[in-house]
Structure 1
Amino acid sequence: MKHEPKAVFDRLATTYQSDIDQTSPYNALYERPAMMAALPNCLEGKRVLDAGCSAGWYASQLTDLGAVVTGIDVSPEMVNAAEERVGGATFLCHDLKEELPLLDHTFDIIISSLTLHYVEEWTPTFSEFRRILKPNGTLIFSVHHPFMDFTKFESTNYFDTTLLTDTWEKPSITVDVSFYRRPMQQIIHDTTQFFRLESLIEPQPLEEMKETHERAYQYLNTHPHFLIVKARTSL
């Protein structure tokens, strides 16, 4: 089984640029509102790293709120899309598995939306995140909920970290996407090696989803689908 997120997300860049904001209730009415609610109330002047910036939705929102944003993505096509969308942020094409080309203690906040499940080993990535965050800096990330992946896909051992593949049917493309499912205890262990855990969030959808996507609304109100982790560096 090949795991090539760069190639896959190069192919998905146009879809993310034009379709995801409007057509995906899991993004617009579920994950994104919960992630934004987890951020500090005042972002004016805060330096934020958008780790796995995709086509720039978070970078756009954070820039509008006064943050100084740097976005990183492994896909050059996603970076191009983000640069077209957001004029006031800096974007880099870089793999989060590698050492980051950023200075120590530079950022107040790192936000990473639905990205880290494409990374097999979190230790090098989290070590770099801790290095570039300021003291008492905030890390907020979302991933697939391990319960969702374990029940949706054929998995024989919940406690294994397993490479899974899903078929995404988007308005303009159908593509196979691979990612890693890891148990909850591994998510917590890898996080607390480097950060102080502040909260775990199992989000629920906005009420307005009921009017436009009732089936998804009922499912997300009774089944965990994504998981949000909020943590901090030491003082």
Structure 2
Amino acid sequence: MREKIKSAFNQLSEAYEHTVDKESLYNTELERPAMMLEIPKNLEQMQMLDAGCAAGWYTNEFLRRGAKVIAVDVSPEMVKATKRRVGTAAEVRCLDFGESLPFADETFDYIVSSLALHYIEDWRKTFSEFQRILKPNGILLFSVHHPTMDIHLSEKQAYFETELIIDQWKKNGQTVEVPFYRRSLATIVNEANTYFTIDKMIEPQPTGHFKLKKPEKYKKLMKSPHFLIVKVKNKK
């Protein structure tokens, strides 16, 4: 399944590089503003890991705030896109953060994972590795699909199961099958709390600009959340 996910995002890399930043209000006016509010404006002397960097929007923002950044993604094409965006200003690697990570213990002050963890079936390995490479009291900030949104895509409607979903994305005139794993809210919270101390949970709301551009979608999002953001602190 990891190969199918890699293949899907290789196909989607051009859209992420050239259109998502301008056209996807779910990114630009919903998830990203809420995530960035949880990150210090001054990141000088901070070592950041962008886990699931896609085409490098977050990597670039962290660099602008003064951070030292390592960005990783499972998709080789996404890695190429990030390198085109930031050049040599950040270290960009193609690797699967569902596996063991090639970083020393207590390397990072922050790990940020934007809409990437739901592509990993078993979080135990990932969270164990994140805990290892975070400094004591280091922060993990991650966003995922909201469980109440995901359940509508489930054929079985088995809310409490961790379930593989094959979604259909239409980008740049092509339809791409995108596999991901949906989880209950309790599963998300309990798995995070096993390795970290939960600081905050956020159900982001769309911005005023979203309302102006897509009023009907804005109304829908104000009634049914689309994303969930979780901020946790290393227990070490």
TM-score norm. by structure 1 comes to 0.96
Contact 2:53/2:59 (<8 A) preserved: yes
Q: Which secondary structure does the structure 1 equivalent of 2:158 belong to?
A: coil
Contact 2:30/2:205 (<8 A) preserved: yes
Given the alignment of the two structures, is residue 29 of structure 1 paired with residue 29 of structure 2, yes or no?
Answer: yes
Relative to structure 1, the CA distance from residue 95 to residue 144 in structure 2 (aligned partners, 3 Å threshold; closer, same or farther) is same
Q: Counterpart of 1:75 in structure 2: which amino acid?
A: S
Give the superposition deviation at 1:155: 3.2
**Equivalent in the alignment of 1:55:** 55
Given the alignment of the two structures, is residue 72 of structure 1 paired with residue 72 of structure 2, yes or no?
Answer: yes
Q: Counterpart of 1:69 in structure 2: which amino acid?
A: V
- Mapped partners of 2:62, 2:214: distance in 1: 27
Q: Counterpart of 2:124 in structure 1: which amino acid?
A: T
Given the alignment of the two structures, is residue 83 of structure 1 paired with residue 65 of structure 2, yes or no?
Answer: no
Q: Counterpart of 1:55 in structure 2: which amino acid?
A: A
**Structure 1 residues not aligned, in runs of 5+:** none
Give the superposition deviation at 1:45: 1.9
- Mapped partners of 1:111, 1:219: distance in 2: 27
**Equivalent in the alignment of 2:95:** 94
- Mapped partners of 2:154, 2:62: distance in 1: 34
Task: State the number of aligned residues.
Answer: 235
Relative to structure 1, the CA distance from residue 85 to residue 78 in structure 2 (aligned partners, 3 Å threshold; closer, same or farther) is same
- Mapped partners of 1:155, 1:218: distance in 2: 27
**Equivalent in the alignment of 1:201:** 202
Give the superposition deviation at 1:208: 1.1
Q: Counterpart of 2:129 in structure 1: which amino acid?
A: E
Q: Which secondary structure does the structure 2 equivalent of 1:193 belong to?
A: helix
Give the superposition deviation at 1:172: 3.9
**Equivalent in the alignment of 2:4:** 4
TM-score norm. by structure 2 comes to 0.96
Given the alignment of the two structures, is residue 161 of structure 1 paired with residue 154 of structure 2, yes or no?
Answer: no
Give the superposition deviation at 1:2: 8.5
Contact 1:203/1:227 (<8 A) preserved: yes
String of CA shifts for 1:111-162, please: whole Å, max 9, x gaps: 0000000000000000000000000000000000011111343333111000
- Aligned identity (percent) is 48
After the TM superposition, which segments of 4 or more aligned residues of structure 1 sit over 3 Å from their partners? none
Give the superposition deviation at 1:39: 1.4
